[in-house]
Structure 1
């Protein structure tokens, strides 16, 4: 499901069963990441599908990439794998107004 940044952040702030998922490349993640996000690179192909399939399907996933394209694909893959709640951040981190941190 595509959500605007406002709806995505509001829903996330009220969700105590949530996981933030970053599907960008490692190089992009090195430029900054939404705090507490889990990173799984969608370009890993079958490796991405394997790692996603290991995640807890009872949680709600808030998925983002740079502009919203790859995260929309990731949400579609997650839905096919049986995830009921995968929310795509429209506009991605490039339009993100919230906090960004850097991995050590």
Structure 2
């Protein structure tokens, strides 16, 4: 299985990726923070898989490697680690939200949550 590459996107590039996809089922937004963080504030439509969960690698391994993934966390550290793990597992298109949801919200980009 070939190893994929991770590309960092700033929030403006990430929102363009989401909008250009127009809700494309081939793009999955993956939040790798804790369930509590995800519940509080998140990018709409994101799926939560906690990087620090013992089940993380098994859950990620079950995902479709043909899809594109935008991975984010709070500031970009956990998401970078998760994205690199996904690339090692053979995921071809993996994007890391540089600066995480913190940089996303600083630009006033849309979120949902409590």
With normalisation by structure 1, the TM-score equals 0.92
Q: Does structure 1 residue 89 correspond to structure 2 residue 100?
A: no
Q: CA RMSD in A?
A: 1.2
Question: Which of 40, 52, 57 is residue 65 of structure 2 equivalent to?
Answer: 57
Which is further off, 84-93 or 6-15? 6-15
Counterpart of 2:10 in structure 1 is 4
Moved over 4 A (4+): none
1:54-99 C-alpha deviation (Å, 9 max, x unpaired): 0111100001000000000010000011101110001111121321
1:72, 1:64 → 2: CA distance?
A: 8
Q: Does structure 1 residue 98 correspond to structure 2 residue 109?
A: yes
Counterpart of 2:38 in structure 1 is 29
Which ranges in structure 1 are unaligned for 5 or more consecutive residues?
none
Counterpart of 1:79 in structure 2 is 87
Which ranges in structure 2 are unaligned for 5 or more consecutive residues?
1-6
1:5, 1:23 → 2: CA distance?
A: 16
